[in-house]
Amino acid sequence: MYAPSPSRCAGEGCSPYGPLSRGAGEGWGEGGPRALFRRACPCRLCYPCGGVKGRTVTDTILVLNGPNLNLLGTREPGIYGSESLADIQSRLETRAAELSLEIDMRQSNREGELVDWIQEARNGAAGIILNAGAYTHTSIAIHDALRACDVPVIEVHLSNPHAREPFRHKSYVSTVACGIVCGFGATSYALALDAMAEVLAG
């Protein structure tokens, strides 16, 4: 998927993927969120993974899940659905194979562990799909880790936070994500994976 061009780099500058590519201006600038990722050198010769020199080429998408998502299928199924996290993983693995990608799906109830995994993505993942659970609305640490990770991030939620309690309306993930998928239950994850494939394809 990331085969470099046989020609030399066109010299357009290999700026990294991720929020830090945005520059000092507010918002995403001309072209919307996808323009952010098109700033990377199109030949992928210098930076085959889209940004950090020396990063190992990978087609792995890190799918991270935050607190209480280990209880999916039994926790408030009227809101979060009846599928377990293992069910969602199985569905994603099937779809990833169709997209010539791999997923590495993890869940933790601990903020620090999620931060560690996000930092790992700098050298081991092509992108991150993140359902940070309640940490979405509280964690500056996760926000800062995502800003530094230099890979595209898609925020995902099973429910629609904007249709729920006011404290769920603020997201520390959204400001560093290239997109958000929410409100479609377990299908939100599959939609996020499809979107990630498009982002990586450029």
> What domains does the chain contain, in order, with CATH numbers?
60-201 (3.40.50.9100)
Catalytic residue among 17, 47, 80, 189: 80
Is 135 one of the annotated active-site residues of the chain?
A: no
Tell me the percentage of the chain whose pLDDT exceeds 70: 67
What letter does residue 15 receive in the DSSP assignment?
Answer: P
For the cut 90, the answer to whether the pLDDT of residue 132 exceeds it is: yes
Marked catalytic residue, from 17, 47, 135, 157: 157
Q: Is 189 a catalytic residue?
A: no
Q: pLDDT by residue (tens digit) across 32-57?
A: 333 333 333 333 333 333 343 344 44
> How far, in Å, CA of 156 to CA of 103, rounded?
15
Please tell me whether the overall predicted TM-score, pTM, comes out greater than 0.75 for this model. no
Band of pLDDT at residue 166, cut at 50, 70 and 90: confident
169 or 181: which carries more pLDDT confidence?
Answer: 181
Separation CA 186–CA 117 (nearest Å): 22
Percentage of the chain modeled with pLDDT above 90: 55
Q: Is residue 64 a contact partner of residue 131, using CB atoms and an 8 Å limit?
A: yes
Alpha helices, H only, 84-173: 85-98, 111-124, 140-149
